[in-house]
Structure 1
Amino acid sequence: MERTVATLKERIRAGSAKIPAEKVIRGGMLVNVMSSEIYPADIAVYKDMIAAVGDVEPYIGPDTEVIDATGKYLVPGLIDGHIHSECSKLSITSYAKAVVPHGTTSMISGLDEYISVSNLEGLQEIFAEIKQSPLKVFWGAPYKTPYTVPQSTVSFNFNKDVHEMVQKWPECYGVWETVTEFVQEEDEDTLGAIAEAYKNNLPVFGCAPMARGTKLNGYLCSGVRLDHESYDHEEVVEKMRKGMHMLIRESCVTHFLAENIRAVTEVNPAFARRVSFCTDDVTATDILSKGHLDHVVRLAIQAGVDPMTAIQMATINSAEAYRIDHLVGSICPGRIADILFVDNLEEFTVAKVMTNGQMVAENHHISYELKAPARSPIFKGQLKCKMTTKEDFEYKVPIQNGKAKVLSMDVKGPFVRKRRDVELKVVNGVIQPDTQQDAIMVSVLERFGKNGNKSLAFCSGWKLKNGAMASTCAPDDNNLVVMGSSAEDMSIAVNHLIEQGGGQVVVENGKVIEFLPLPVGGIVSDEEPEVIAELEKKIDEAARRIGSDLPNPMMYMFFLPITAIPDYALTDVGPVDYCALTTYDPVLELVEE
């Protein structure tokens, strides 16, 4: 319900038992995250609002629906404190089908991947989709787009002038993922977004991997409130001692909970009240096999956190960190009726889910028909790339034959790339990739029809023996990323994605052996989560068939354009040295023979 004078009167009357509740939940055990108590209590629900908790007899009218919760614990809906749902390759509707049955009823997101491939008109379409979804999205306006240094190419640039407008939108709850380097370098658009947030009394969300000491102090002096990016528990401790709310990230590729929860279990239990959870990047496969935030709650309990504290981390702590605790995060009068029916707190098995006062899921499945909206041309457009040839992916140098010493980006986990110097052959003026040395080609192509940029560099760690793989789902800018040991296969992979309007593809010996279509903006699909999970399995198997032994080869590859984490990255403007915040020449030395 909107907050108008008329609806406020209605809400007050419902809370005062002057209007009967539409639903009453009886017989359950309330998990009160506000008081850290568990006790028998009934719940009265009016429309999308919790009207009363405790004795709800006065709220029952002749048409009130009674829901039996005998034997169940009643837990607030879980809140994902930082998520790029687009990286799951699931649209908002499909993503809701995956996570809501596991108890995630709210998420905080910048929806920045959608913005990068559309514009504010496209963003409004996503807002409309969210309103029809059982999953709430508390949107933070991205501090800027793109997030890259130097600036890569996206469809729409989010800057300080845009912030002056969008921070006044009712959908805006803060400034999203303000990266350390942009504050440190005193970027005008970033500081403009923060200054506007001060005017509008909005919180500033952070992204400060490995920030310590004076760097962290300077960052905090800009006004950033919270952070989701710590690489060890000592980093968590320093940030919390300096006043930050901390989100512990447990994604499908970065498993940080076991390490970071030590700040609570080994250093200071009092930290627990300002620690919450996020998943950041997940896949349909992981959600369907492990769960979502319910899985994170279970991991925390297994790490030694008591169930009440773990549930608080997944609910009220996040709500308070983001200043939305008047809406979600607890089962209290006046809050939105997001309620989980949980069988066992230790095992944290979510049996049923209520969102916005409606029962929407049971036994890990949405219990009603939920359809994605019709997609406008904004999200159905084709990639604006020129078709390629193998020559586009040959690294040409000014010697005919000899040797080239090159800097290869060596993957050390999904985000961190380190320097690796490799000596490669030069044949007929072209540097030859070498699978024996695990040194192959990688390229990013601008796909929005802005400038036709195409970068070329070297990478290691994927261990491809032949073939190529490519993706148009590739944050932070969602340009087309391709890597391979064969320039011809790289060209075939790229051309297939251009022809199909986006997706992920694996090519071997001149043939497409697996393809995952992503027709919505080239980044997500409206298919059922089970369908995408099956396609993910096939695309990963195909990547392993051509040699990769990484746990998630495609996701490791599509993170290459992220420049915000040490040491190297690749965007459409070229290979990037994170430490120098500039592009670099990957050819270090040439020796002609």
Structure 2
Amino acid sequence: MERSVSDLKERIRAGRGLVPAHKVIRGGQLVNVMSSEIYPADVAVYDDMIAAVGDVEAYIGPETEIIDAGGRYLVPGMIDGHIHSECSKLSITSYAKAVVPHGTTSMISGLDEYISVSGLEGLREVMDEVKKSPLKVFWGAPYKTPYTIPQSTIAFNFNKEVHAEVQKWPECFGVWETVREFIQEEDEDTLGAISEAFKNRLPVFGCAPMARGNDLNGYLCAGVRLDHESYDHEEVVEKMRKGMHMLIRESCVTHFLEENIRAVTEVNPAFARRVSFCTDDVTATDILSKGHLDNVVRLAMKAGVEPMTAIQMATINSAEAYRIDHLVGSICPGRIADILFVDDLNEFKIEKVMTNGKMVAENERLSYELKAPERSSVLKGALKCKMTTKADFEYKVSIPSGEATVLAMDVKGPFVRKRRDVVLKVENGIVLPDVEQDVAMVSVLERFGRNGNKSLAFCSGWKLKKGAMASSAAPDDNNLVVMGVNAEDMSIAANYLIEQGGGQVVVADGEIVEFLPLPIGGIVSDCEPEEVAEQEKRIDAAARALGSDLPNPMMYMFFLPITAIPDYAITDVGPVDYLALTTFDPVLDLKEA
């Protein structure tokens, strides 16, 4: 995306028609998101750039390739405004295979899960991988890592000194996902990252769920430009009235579009021009069964948004919010040639996809072979945990027998956990989980070899009747998370992932029931999306066989270390009360028999 003087001269000449276009798309209906018009227009493409739109006969030379649009609508490539692609368990290469055929040609990401497990060295490898992919990544430097309060343990800590370096990288387009509490608490690293962004004229991306009133005002006074976290449409309205660009999130576990789009359809249609879309966290299963941003566009239209407006939300609105509209988001001269071929705007099924001036996908599949790069030891490192025993997952107390009143983190959605006080039995000095009361044990093990931390707490909502499950993919710090109602099975699950170098596993009655390998950083795989989707279905089915009726029991579990949404979470430093911003003792009271 850099432009040398000689490169600029070449592109200017191509725009003036002084040199022939490499490709010309004929016979299409241009969806002009800049003017909200649809009309017949041809498109001239030079290298990876749109050179001209409209009558482009003067741009055709003897070697120009002619592409017949066949009357289809020509739509700009779509932009996912906020995505942790790592949560899909797909590497960048595999993720591109899944989403590009559905029309997603760009994404905004901090690639922060890669950073947490492999630091800047691993990040550079992933950025090199991006350059060979049809999917563009506009990278925002994470405001800090980890995102947790109190600070959990990861492989690499992103701080204000790191920002002084990386914000000068050409790949850096802003500061990623600045969590409100870190601004509110005046965290030095966070404010240092924002201060550096002001120097470099980079936008600051937000993360402020449930922020209202004075807390929102203070957050905005730090210079945050946009937000992707709103739990109802009134929150969207307040944030937009106070000047924010808003991203409506529709992930595989948080279906916020139907509620949040009401800000546009019921409160004020004028908001539409500053609303865009993101998926945040998706699975291979969801992408292959529903689509990606194409599905979000269809959902918006179903909710009452006009097709042109929904397409603008998926394209130019996001580009403008992130200040990249000079590069992507529209089919205009000088922009990168990311173009979707669509038969019917109301059905919005992507027939063909061009990215970077090349036809890359047709009929929901890439039309060429895309191979993942060779992986270095930086991204294929082992889990540096000590092997566990049953005793590691037994909550020991000071009385030999009796009752313990405990605080169980009760899941009310993938990110929201509320307080639930439960009385559990104590036998042989151990507080026992209770399947009848739906109380399981959960533990997080530090897996980077830095301190050997282990935490243990109680949780509710999974309805496990037996066994255990574990994952080494667990944002925001990707430590090893283990949940279960049997300490022996919990130990077996943790040890198996340590032996295998990462993944997700379900154990019952002392046996490995199902395993999903994640060899790259313990968080992603280079397998084909279809293969990962099948593995996801099997691992979720195995988790449900333990008794859980949650839609995504494994995903709900691996979100437990996320502290950025009240009220409760657990990291390697212990269970966290995020309202008090501190760890807590889950045993509230003991009564000896």
Same-fold status (TM-score > 0.5):
yes
Q: Report the Cα offset of residue 2 of structure 1.
A: 3.4
Instruction: Give, in whole Å, the separation in 2 of the partners of 1:347 and 1:305.
Output: 13
Q: Deviations over 1:317-349 (max 9, x none)?
A: 000000000000000000000000011100101
Aligned to 2:421: 421
What is residue 190 of structure 2 aligned with on the other side? Answer: 190
Shift of 1:70: 1.4
Aligned residue in 2 for 1:486 = 486
The DSSP-based 3-state class of the residue aligned with 1:39 is: strand
Aligned to 1:44: 44
What are the superposed Cα offsets for residues 106-165 of structure 1, whole Å, 9 maximum, x if unpaired? 000000000000011111000000000000000000000000000000000000000000
Partner residue, 1:454 = 454
Q: Distance in 1 between matches of 2:500 and 2:561?
A: 22
Q: Does 1:283 align with 2:283?
A: yes
Q: Which residue of 2 aligns with 1:81?
A: 81
Q: Which amino acid aligns with 2:442?
A: V
Aligned-partner residue type, residue 261 of structure 2: I
CA separation in 2, counterparts of 1:420 and 1:253?
A: 22
Q: What does the per-residue CA deviation read over 1:71-96, in whole Å, with 9 as the maximum and x for residues that have no partner? A: 20000000000000000000000000
Partner of 1:229: 229
Q: Which residue of structure 2 aligns with residue 407 of structure 1?
A: 407
Q: Distance in 1 between matches of 2:70 and 2:88?
A: 35
Give the deviation of 1:465 after TM superposition. 0.2
Aligned match of 1:217? 217
CA distance in 2, matches of 1:119, 1:239: 34
Aligned equivalent of 2:465: 465
Corresponding residue of 1:263? 263
1:172 is aligned to 2:172: yes
Question: Paired residue for 1:53?
Answer: 53
- Equivalent in the alignment of 2:35: 35
Which amino acid counterpart does residue 199 of structure 2 have in structure 1?
K
Partner of 2:10: 10
**Mapping for residues 232-243 of structure 1, pairs under 5 Å:** 232-243=232-243
1:13 match: secondary structure: helix
Aligned to 2:536: 536
* Aligned-partner Cα distance in 2 for 1:186–1:287: 39
Query: Cα deviation per residue 1:241-288 (whole Å; 9 max; x = unaligned)?
Result: 000000000000000000000000000000000000000000000000
Query: Equivalent residues in 2 for 1:139-178 (5 A)?
Result: 139-178=139-178
- Give 3-state SS (helix, strand or coil) of 1:379's partner: coil
Return the letter of the residue paired with 2:167: Q
Q: Distance in 1 between matches of 2:321 and 2:29?
A: 26
CA distance in 2, matches of 1:9, 1:2: 13
Q: Would you say 1:589 and 2:557 are equivalent positions?
A: no
Q: Which runs of 5+ in 1 are unaligned?
A: none
Structure 2 distance, partners of 1:432, 1:551, is 26
Rounded to whole Å, the distance in 1 between the matches of 2:143 and 2:549 is: 36
* Partners of 2:321 and 2:493 in 1: CA distance: 43
Q: Distance in 2 between matches of 1:335 and 1:241?
A: 31
How far, CA to CA, are the matches of 1:328 and 1:473 in structure 2?
A: 31
Q: Which residue of 1 aligns with 2:135?
A: 135
How many angstroms apart in 2 are the aligned matches of 1:71 and 1:551? Answer: 41
Q: How far apart, in 1, do the equivalents of 2:18 and 2:28 lie?
A: 24
Which amino acid is 1:75 matched to?
V
**Please, what is the CA RMSD of the aligned residues?**
0.4
Separation of aligned partners in 2, 1:328 and 1:71: 23
* Residue deviations 1:480-522 (CA, integer Å, cap 9, x gap): 0000000000000000000000000000000000000000000
Cα offset for 1:217? 0.2
After TM superposition, list the pairs within 5 Å mapping 1:508-587 onto structure 2: 508-587=508-587
TM-score norm. by structure 1 comes to: 1.00
- Measured in 2, the distance between the counterparts of 1:381 and 1:225 equals 37
Partner of 2:321: 321
Shift of 1:309: 0.2
Superposition deviation, residue 65 in structure 1 = 0.3
Separation in 2, partners of 1:283, 1:80: 15
- Corresponding residue for residue 25 of structure 2: 25
For residues 122 and 462 of structure 2, what CA distance do their matches in structure 1 show? 35
Deviations 1:383-433 (A, max 9, x none): 000000000000000110000000000000000000000100000000000
1:176-232: CA deviation from partner (whole Å, max 9, x where unpaired) = 000000000000000000000000000000000000000000000000000000000
Question: What are the Cα deviations for residues 362-387 of structure 1, in whole angstroms up to 9, with x where unaligned?
Answer: 00000000000000000111100000
SS in 2 for 1:26: strand
For 2:461 and 2:2, the matched residues in 1 are separated by 52
- 2:442 aligns with 442
Corresponding letter in the other structure for 1:55 = D
1:531-564 CA deviation, whole Å, 9 max, x = no partner?
Answer: 0000000000000101000000000000000001
Give the Å deviation of 1:100: 0.1
1:497 corresponds to:
497
Residue pairs, 1:67-106, within 5 angstroms: 67-106=67-106
Residue in 2 aligned with 1:507? 507
What residue identity is the alignment partner of 1:393? F
Whole-Å Cα distance in 2 between the matches of residues 551 and 125 of structure 1? 34
Q: Distance in 2 between matches of 1:576 and 1:449?
A: 22
Structure 2 counterpart of 1:333, which letter? P
- Identity within the alignment, %: 83
Find the residue that maps to 1:225 and give its secondary structure: strand
SS at match of 2:378: helix
- SS of 2:512's partner is strand
Which SS does the other structure have where 1:483 is aligned? strand
Q: How far, CA to CA, are the matches of 2:246 and 2:589 in structure 1?
A: 44
Q: Offset of 1:305 from its aligned partner? A: 0.3
Secondary structure of residue in 2 paired with 1:151? coil
Give TM-score scaled by structure 2 length: 1.00
For residues 397 and 71 of structure 1, the distance between their equivalents in structure 2, rounded to whole angstroms, comes to: 72
Letter in 2 for 1:269: P
SS of the equivalent of 2:331 reads coil
Q: How far apart, CA to CA, are the structure 2 residues paired with 1:71 and 1:409?
A: 55
Letter in 1 for 2:452: G
